[in-house]
Amino acid sequence: MVVTRILEKIAGNHNEKQLKKIAPLVTKINEYYESRHTLSDDEIKAKTAEFKARVQSGETLDSILPEAFAVVKQACKRMVGMEIEVKGIKEIWNMVPYDVQLVGGIVLHQ
C-alpha cells in the first residue's frame, strides 16, 4: 500500500493521466459548441448526414468526435424547456451535458 502511494506520487495516478489526455478534447468540444450557436436547427440536423459522409470518406470517428459531441450539446441546449415524452411520461427537457458527462462519453467511445 505504501509502495503504491509512493509510485503514484512519482508517476501519477492512472485516472489522472487519462483525464489529462481527455481534457484537450473537452476543451475542443466546448470551442466547437460555442461556435455552433449560429447554425440553424436545420443545419444542426444536417450535421448527422455530414458526419456519416465524412466517416464513409475515410475520416475516423475519433477525428469527428469533438465536433459531433459539440453538435449534440448544442442540440441539447436548444431543447431546454421543450416538452418530450419518455416511456409515456411527459417531461420538460432541461439537460445540457456538463464537462464530466462529455468525459464519460469520450471514455465510453474509447
Percent of the residues in the chain that have a pLDDT greater than 70, as a whole number:
89
Res. 81 pLDDT band, cuts 50 70 90: very high
Exposed/middle/buried for residue 68 (C-beta within 10 Å: 0-12, 13-18, 19+):
buried
- pLDDT beyond 90 at 15: no
Owning domain of residue 99? 2-109
Q: What CATH number corresponds to the domain at position 37?
A: 3.40.50.300
Q: What is the pLDDT of residue 8?
A: 64
Per the model's pLDDT, the better-predicted residue between 83 and 6 turns out to be: 83
User: pTM of the full predicted structure?
Assistant: 0.82
- pLDDT beyond 80 at 75: yes
Half-sphere exposure for 44 (CA within 13 Å, toward CB): 20
Total domain count for the chain? 1
Q: What is the pLDDT of residue 105?
A: 95
How much is the mean pLDDT over the chain?
91
